[in-house]
Amino acid sequence: MSEKIEVGSVITGKVTGIQPYGAFVALDENTQGLVHISEVTHGFVKDINEHLKVGDEVNVKVLSVDEAAGKIGLSIRATEEAPQAEAKARKPRKRQAAPIKMEDESAQGFNTLKDKLQEWIDQSQREDLIKK
């Protein structure tokens, strides 16, 4: 692995391979790193092939270097500014409260057990409601 690659540095590389989870970028003749799909651009990336092709020259920022495993984590997104217009355009919508309907007391609705208990006792003792 090359000694000059440091975390935080921005390097120009060439896309050498694309997988569903990310793109491999050659940083020099002997060194390549991975740009995870979440680091390709700001926002959601459904298909990496819509953003990158093999042979593309890209600027990448080095996120991590694991000498022991021989892995370098890269980001294209970190070299670009976040789009400000989209963030401001999406304002949360306020929902209107549903109107409250006032009904007479005989209507069914939410009541506490204490309120309904006596009514249930009376119903259980009525002859016309008892199943035979």
Dump pLDDT digits (tens) for 65-122.
Answer: 888 888 899 999 988 887 776 555 566 777 777 776 665 555 566 667 877 888 888 8
Residue scoring higher pLDDT (64 or 119): 64
pLDDT classification of 63: cutoffs 50, 70, 90 = very high
The answer to whether the CB of 66 falls within 8 A of the CB of 31 is no
pLDDT of residue 90: 62
Collapsed DSSP state (helix, strand, coil) of residue 123: helix
pLDDT classification of 126: cutoffs 50, 70, 90 = confident
How far apart CA 107 and CA 121 sit, in angstroms, is 18
Whether the pTM exceeds 0.85: the reply is no
* Whole-angstrom Cα Rg for the chain: 32
Collapsed DSSP state (helix, strand, coil) of residue 104: coil
How far apart CA 13 and CA 32 sit, in angstroms, is 9
pLDDT of residue 53: 92
